[in-house]
Structure 1
């Protein structure tokens, strides 16, 4: 989605590695359990797409920043990958997942560790939960520490801290709303689910890294950038919902129709509930967990209800608003081009 040079990718990777190695070295000195926690954190940060740090670098360049004059660029970019990993670890804990990308996550590693040490299933789950909370907390603090220690002037540090603060706060609110929606006896309306989707992802994945890059480049606060980025983030999340329901294994990185199998409460399903075809959709969803044929039946029912088309329309509207904000004369041409490329890439993800 973001085209960086090999050198830029290497610089991002090096900054992330430096941060993780620092954590690993410090935990290794504190005993076997701490060492295992450090190793789990290192595994969690490995092999990601590193999209958010790429956004920091791309925005920095788009706003006229020069890498040779900004030694903090790579550390700040790394902070957003560290933040992302912290959120993933906590998200897996909330969802009770023990794997990510087909491999044991922090919870999975510590659950296996506890079982091998003689714990029963309940005890192993307690250990897994504790490790997940603590690993995510360590990374949240590490992201804040990177910003606090970055070689920048105090006004820049204050602005970056505000960006990070907003990202953590809004994402926490979105995660809580998502959890509450999942536990409700009734079904939340589409507007509530859309708000949770926005808060959970859009701010920390798009608005925060883009703003951070602009701040490092010395650009003044740009409301159009923040607004465009928020709309891009919402569109990105809505496309993720489409991928979770209709995407291929390659697109989703898991079994096709996983959201249907797991009975996730998404904006797509909320839209289907508002249609006259909901009884048919509901009936199909009730058995979607039974296998591929049932998943395909549920997909067809959702499509027939018009919910898929409606969600695609909402993606288009969000991208249109992003482009409107991006057209502001306050933004430099390269920033406008970056935002347009992001919009095009999001459109290309629609399954």
Structure 2
């Protein structure tokens, strides 16, 4: 029986390694390209903070759950789902780097270029690989859940489905906002933040832990609300780091959000200000160079948008901590969630 978090996370990693080894072996019969796809899926799954497994295991253990093996399996499913979303997100954003190295898509683009393919063909090969890899991991997440003997299995499948439903809505809104296909409003942006990040990264793993612990509807409802608030804090900080963070700490270029024209609260707050009007034509320019990116950063600071988002982040963090403190959750769980909220607000990567 696994009760220690480090042991549980090690068990999640071991289960992940076992699943990947089995899939890589099976893929070998379909040829070298498919085996390579699964090997690179393995690389995409490596590293990371394991936020979702940590949250699920935290909720399960603090609520007195004893379905430890099931909690490990569910944690694996959420990690697979997370990697699937990252792979799809990279395709949608056209990103070729993640965690300081070529991502799966970028590796396949590099292969194609090395073979002498034209840039368009190489990009198509990379995009197809990223989409298929994400699809395969979503399927694998459901497969893992299907083997959980717990009575909560059906509810976990439904929870995964809710994650997919909400995240797809968030991704569609994110792309639509950047392209101008969706009206840029603060409610639209905050809705996108909720759908794209808060549901699957925080709310759902906490709810899954409560489900497996059999803690009842009240605890699950409270954790769903608190998870949503945590996700909003996390995304606010992410938006700041995506413009003002360190490329070394983030493991990816920090000009990406500016180059892609990502519509965040940071941009919404700057819109209409004199400093932003002077540089607005640079925002979303694919050929954006370092000097132009620095001009955009200065405008976001001089307009007061950066300070406004930082204040909003601080207030949201405090509201989240207050909500946790006022909840009916066990004191042990509160004592873990409050510092987590502050780490979400202060993190550098």
TM-score > 0.5 by shorter chain: yes
Tell me the equivalent position of 1:114. Answer: 112
2:49 aligns to what SS in structure 1?
Answer: coil
> Is the 8 Å Cα contact of residues 71 and 151 (structure 1) preserved in structure 2?
no
Q: Map of 1:1-351 to 2, 5 A cutoff? A: 5-66=5-66, 69-117=67-115, 119-153=117-151, 156-184=152-180, 188-221=184-217, 222-275=220-273, 277-280=275-278, 282=280, 289-291=288-290, 293-349=291-347
1:33-85 per-position Cα deviation (integer Å, ceiling 9, x unaligned)? 2212211211111122222111111111221224xx43212111111110011
Cα separation, 1, equivalents of 2:83 and 2:102: 15
**What's the CA shift for 1:294?**
4.3
1:49 aligns to what SS in structure 2?
Answer: coil
- Compared CA separation, residues 32 and 285, structure 1 to 2 (3 A): closer
**What's the CA shift for 1:256?**
4.6
**What's the CA shift for 1:189?**
2.0
1:210-267 per-position Cα deviation (integer Å, ceiling 9, x unaligned)? 1111211221123121111101101100110111122233443334554335443222
Q: CA RMSD in A?
A: 2.5
Cα separation, 2, equivalents of 1:165 and 1:185: 26
- Compared CA separation, residues 103 and 249, structure 1 to 2 (3 A): closer
**Pairs aligned (count):** 343
Cα separation, 2, equivalents of 1:255 and 1:36: 26
- Compared CA separation, residues 259 and 338, structure 1 to 2 (3 A): same
2:69 aligns to what SS in structure 1?
Answer: coil
In the alignment, structure 2 segments of 5+ residues that lack a partner are none
Larger displacement relative to structure 2 (124-133 or 201-210): 124-133
> Is the 8 Å Cα contact of residues 227 and 322 (structure 1) preserved in structure 2?
no
Larger displacement relative to structure 2 (7-16 or 202-211): 7-16
> Is the 8 Å Cα contact of residues 174 and 199 (structure 1) preserved in structure 2?
yes
1:95-118 per-position Cα deviation (integer Å, ceiling 9, x unaligned)? 122222232222222223334455
- Compared CA separation, residues 303 and 120, structure 1 to 2 (3 A): closer
> Is the 8 Å Cα contact of residues 260 and 284 (structure 2) preserved in structure 1?
no
**What's the CA shift for 1:323?**
2.9
- Compared CA separation, residues 260 and 108, structure 1 to 2 (3 A): closer
Cα separation, 1, equivalents of 2:260 and 2:155: 40
TM-score (norm 1): 0.88
Cα separation, 2, equivalents of 1:30 and 1:203: 36
TM-score (norm 2): 0.89
**What's the CA shift for 1:270?**
1.1
- Compared CA separation, residues 294 and 117, structure 1 to 2 (3 A): closer
> Is the 8 Å Cα contact of residues 237 and 347 (structure 2) preserved in structure 1?
yes
Cα separation, 2, equivalents of 1:346 and 1:116: 40
> Is the 8 Å Cα contact of residues 178 and 261 (structure 2) preserved in structure 1?
no
- Compared CA separation, residues 194 and 44, structure 1 to 2 (3 A): same
